[in-house]
Amino acid sequence: MSPRPLPFDPIARAAELWAERVGEPATMAAVTSIMRVQQVLQSAVDTALRPHGLTFARYEALVLLTFSKRGSLPMRVMGDRLQLHPTSVTNIVDRLEGDGLVKRTRHPTDRRTTLAEITELGRERMAAATAAVTAIDFGMRGLTGRQTGQLTELLAKVRKAVGDFTDPEPEA
């Protein structure tokens, strides 16, 4: 965040200049706004997670493991669900394992597959970190619950359009 608020909205001003010099500013202003809000949210979440020794990526991994039926998932599945490259998942699990928050285990039926399993300490750390990020609403300010839902729906449209996910086929 800025040390002091500006007396004007710099993105609105940039949109005015864009319109004068380049053309229609709506997309530029929306993308610039999203990028700025991402910085604001990242800062808020990082500040809330730092006392728990977690980054957002590691926190997400702990949440994912907690949400799984057995508290463990194949590393490949973690990468798919977190939408991360396998190398990034390995790095995240390495760090979590080093802190005693997860452990690697062999898959019971597929010797080629390694599972990441959350430990009791990992569950405790995830719960404490969740309390910290929910106490600040993940840094989201200025929107009603309904508006937050609408924002999520709108951003999902962009994510779907770029191939982030597909809607499941309707059941017959």
Per-residue model confidence (pLDDT) at position 34: 97
Per-residue model confidence (pLDDT) at position 54: 98
Residue by residue, DSSP assigns 103-149 as EEEE-SS-TT-EEEEE-HHHHHHHHHHHHHHHHTGGG--S--HHHHH
Per-residue model confidence (pLDDT) at position 135: 97
Per-residue model confidence (pLDDT) at position 107: 87
Structure token digits, residue 78: 């973690």
Q: Which fold has domain 10-139?
A: Arc Repressor Mutant, subunit A (1.10.10)
Could you read off the pLDDT tens digit of each residue along the chain, which spans 172 residues? 557 899 999 999 999 999 999 999 999 999 999 999 999 999 999 999 999 999 999 999 999 999 999 999 999 999 999 999 999 999 999 999 999 999 999 988 888 889 999 999 999 999 999 999 999 999 999 999 999 999 999 999 999 999 999 987 666 6
Per-residue model confidence (pLDDT) at position 44: 97
Sheet of 114-118: strand order equals: 72-74, 114-118, 102-106
Return the axis-axis angle of helices 26-49 and 56-67, rounded to nearest 10°: 80
∠139-32-84 over CA atoms, to 5°? Answer: 65
Structure token digits, residue 19: 């319109």
Per-residue model confidence (pLDDT) at position 167: 83
Structure token digits, residue 168: 């499941």
Per-residue model confidence (pLDDT) at position 2: 56
